[in-house]
Amino acid sequence: MKKEEVPQDSDNLHEGTFKQIMYAVDNSGNYVQVQSAGWEPENIALDQAWEEVNERVKQARARVEAGEISPVAYYMEKNLMDLPLLASYVGKFQWQVKRHMKPGVFKGLSPKLLQRYADAFKVSLTDLLQIK
């Protein structure tokens, strides 16, 4: 990659300020550091990853509202977590966390455990019980 070819495809994901270093060759063939404002393929991939997240959050939200799953499942998606990660944050086994995603089971959880979920998701207890 030549110095002039270092991509400068900025988009709103970068918030206009974040610039990465890339190594590229100058006219005499020597490597130099050049700042890049972003590259289209990376932007597409990043965009797509976020669309996927947003889609999953949306679906989870609809299912919570329909009473099919508990807020635990919704906040897990919202915090970009998966089951193993969430389980290690609350210090439970995966099958236990999975159970807590059932609305019926969720209702009966102790305040202490609910607080742990709230902490893991960085939300208040009220927000955990009633998703915003």
Partner 1 sequence: MTNSFFQHKQTAHCESGVISNLLGHYGLQISEPMAFGIGAGIFFGHLPFVKVNGVPGTTYRIWPGAIFQRVCKRLGVRMESEKFSTPEKGMAALDKVIEAGIPVGLQSSVYYLPYFPASYRFHFNAHNLVVYGKQDGQYLVSDPVMDTVTTIDPESLTQARFAKGFPAPKGKMYYPVHVPPTASFEKPIKAGIEQACHFMLKVPIPMFGVKGIRFLSKRVRNYAENPGDRKATLYLGNIIRMQEEIGTGGAGFRFLYAAFLQEAAVMLNKDELSKLAGELTKTGDLWRNFAFAAGRVCKSRSADNVSYKELSDMLLECAASEEVFFKKLAQVKL
Q: Enumerate binding residues for partner 1 (CB under 8 A).
A: 1, 6-7, 13-15, 17-25, 29-31, 33, 35-36, 39-42, 44-46, 48-50, 52, 80-82, 84-85, 88-89
Measured from the CB atom, the residue of 49 and 62 that comes closer to partner 1 is 49
Q: Which is nearer to partner 1, 92 or 102 (CB)?
A: 92
Nearer to partner 1, 33 or 65 (CB): 33
Cα distances from 53 to residues 17, 70, 86, 100, 121, in angstroms, run: 24, 18, 16, 21, 16
Minimal distance in Å, beta carbon 108 to partner 1?
Answer: 25
Least separation in angstroms between CB 104 and partner 1 = 27
Nearest to 44 by CA among 76, 71, 69, 7: 7
User: In the bound complex, what is the minimum distance in angstroms from residue 13's beta carbon to partner 1?
Assistant: 4
Task: Classify residue 27 by burial, with Cβ atoms within 10 Å: 0-12, 13-18, 19+.
Answer: exposed
Residue in this structure with the two tokens 């977590």, named with its chain if needed:
81
Q: Is 7 exposed, middle or buried (0-12, 13-18, 19+ CB in 10 A)?
A: middle
Minimum Å gap between C-beta 3 and partner 1 is 11
Q: Looking at the DSSP assignment, which residues form a beta bridge with residue 38?
A: 8
Q: Which residue, 19 or 99, has its beta carbon nearer to partner 1?
A: 19
